[in-house]
A and B are shown apart, each in its own frame.
Chain A
Amino acid sequence: MILIVFSHPYPHRSHANKTILDGVSQTEHVIIDDLYQKYPDFHINISQEQSLLRQAKLIIFQFPLYCYNVPALLKQWQEVVLTRQFSLDNEAHGRALQGKSTMAVVTTGHKHRSYQQGGDDNYSLDDFLRPLEQLSVHCGMHYHSPLALHQAHRATETELTQFTQLYSQRIEDLYRQAGQSDE
C-alpha cells in the first residue's frame, strides 16, 4: 500500500495541490491520509495513524512548504505518531518503519532557482528538508529525494498534468522497487 500523508490547511483553495492529489489518487494501491481534514483541532488519532503506517510499503509526505518547513500539523503528527516506542524499539512489532521507503512531494511559492545559495531563499529544498530526511533514516526507512512543484500557484494546467504524471510514475516505480527488495 502506498500511503500519501497529505498536509494542507486549505486544500480546496489550492488548485495545484488538489489537482495533483486527485490525479495521483487514481494510482493503484494509493491511500490518502488527509491530516488537516481528519484532525482540524490537531487531536491526532495516534493508533490509527500508526496502523496505517504499518500497512504501507511506501510513505509519501505531500505538503506545501510553509515558512521553509512542514505545515504545523505534519510536525505535530511526527511528534506524536513517530514515537520512540513505535518506530525504534517496539517489542511486539520490532521497528515498525524498518525497510519502508519514503519521499516528500512539495509545492513551493518561489521559483526553482531561488532555492540555492545566493538565491532569494539561500538554501536548496534538500537542505530545508534535512530534518525529514534524518527522521526517516533514523526510523530505518529509505529516503528518496523530494519531488517539487515550484511556484505552484502559477502552474498551468499542462504543467500540473505533467507533474501529476511524473508523481504517479515515480511512486509506482518506488513501490515496485520496495516490493522487490521485500522478496
Chain B
Amino acid sequence: MTIIAENPIKAVAPPSQVQQKVIASLQKRHRKERLFRSLGLSAVLISLALVAVLFVNIFAKGMPAFWQSAITLDIYFDPKIIKVEEKPVQQAGESDNDFRQRDLAWQTQLGFINFNRLITDSLQQILPDASKHRRDLARVVTSGERFALRDMVVADPSIIGQTRTLHLLTDANIDVWLKGNIDRSLPDEQQQLSPKMREWVDKLAADGVITSRFSLALFMNPDSRSSLASAGLAGAFMGSFYMMLVVILLAVPMGVAAAIYLEEFAPRNRITDLVEVNINNLAAVPSIVFGLLGASVLIGWFNLPMSAPIVGGLVLSLMTLPTVIIATRSTLKAIPPSIRQAALGLGASKMQAIFHHVLPLAIPGILTGAILGVAQALGETAPLLLIGMKSFVASVPASPFEQATALPVQIYLWQGNELRNFFEARTSAAIIVLLMMMLSLNGLAIWLRKKYEKRW
C-alpha cells in the first residue's frame, strides 16, 4: 500500500511487478475461499445425508410396526365356560370396603375361567383340522388377549351368552411370518412356527381373516413379556409424562426465578461470579452423574421409591435447571435497557419495571429455552438407568410415585428383547414416536418464538 501511495502514476501503466503480485495473491485468496466454501457445503451435505440415512433406516424398519396382524373372530361368550355369579352391586348400607371385598372375590372367580377356550372354540369353527393340533391352536392368538376378553366381561357381564365379532392380535411370530421378517425358505427346524401353523396362517391371511390393522396396542398397552404381540408404549409414555410434569413444575419456575434474580437483582461480586461459573459448569456435567446423585441421595437418604417417575423427574430437573437459567438470562440480557429505564423514569419500582415490562417481553425467549430444556430431558436415558427405571413394568402408572419406565428407556429395553424378529421393528417404532414428540416440542418452541418475538 505504501508503495502505491508513493508512485501513483505507476498504477495506470501496464501491470507492474507489484500489480502482478497483487493479482496472483488475489487469485490465491479467491481459490482459498472457493475451497473453504465447497468444504463447508460438503460438510453440510454429508451431515444431511447421514441424518437422511438414519431417518430412512428407522422409518423403513419402524413404520411396518404401526400395523399389526389381527385375526377377526366371532367370539361366543359361552355361559357354559364363563360360570360366575352375578356381578356384585353395592347394596344400600354396605360399606365401601365390604363391597370392594365382594368385588375382588368376584374378580378372583373370573380369574379361574379359561378364556382361551372361547378363542380356541371360535377358531375351531373356521379351521376344520384344528382338533388334531390343539397346541398350535392355542398359540394363534397372543396370550394377552384372554385378559381383554375377561375385562369385557368385567365391564359388562350381560355380554355372557352373546356373540361378538372381535379383532384379536395374533401371536408375535405370526406377525413376523406374515410381514416376511423371517426368511420363509428356511427349513422347519429354524422356523418359529410349526408347518401346520404356517399353512393355517397363510390360508387365513388369504381368506382375509387375518388382516394387518393399525396397532392400537402399541399406544394403549403397557410393556408385555408374556404376550409379546401386545407390548406397547402406554406405560413408558405415562412415565415420561409424569417426569416432564415434575420438570416443568420444578425446573422451569426455579430456573426462571434464579435467572431473574441473578440478572436483575444480584449484586455483582465474587460470590455471584462464582455462582455464575458454577451454573455454567453444571450445564456441562455429564447426565449420568445426576443419575448417581439421584440413586444415592434421593433413593438412599430421602427414601423415595425406586423406578418412580418422581425420582426421574427430580434428577432431570437438576439437569434441565442450568439450561433454563442460561436461556432465561440471555433473553433478559437481550431486552433493551431503554425499556427498564423508561419504566423506572415513570416512577415504577424495580420490581414493577421487571415484572410489568421486562418479563412480558422475555416470555417467548424463556418459553423457547424451557421447551428445549424439557425436550432434552425427554430424550435423556443415562441417569434413568441408575435409578432403577430400566425395570420391566407391566402396568400403566397412575401417579408419579408408582413404578414406571420412560420412552427412551423403553427403546433400550425393547432393543434387548430376545425375540429379535419382532422387536427390531417395535424398537424402531418406539424411536419414531419419541422422535415425533421431540420434533413437535421443538416445533412448538420455534412457533412460539416466531409468533411472539420482538426485534429491536
Chain A bound to chain B: no
> Which A residues lie at the B interface, using CB under 8 A?
none
Binding site for A on B (CB under 8 A): none
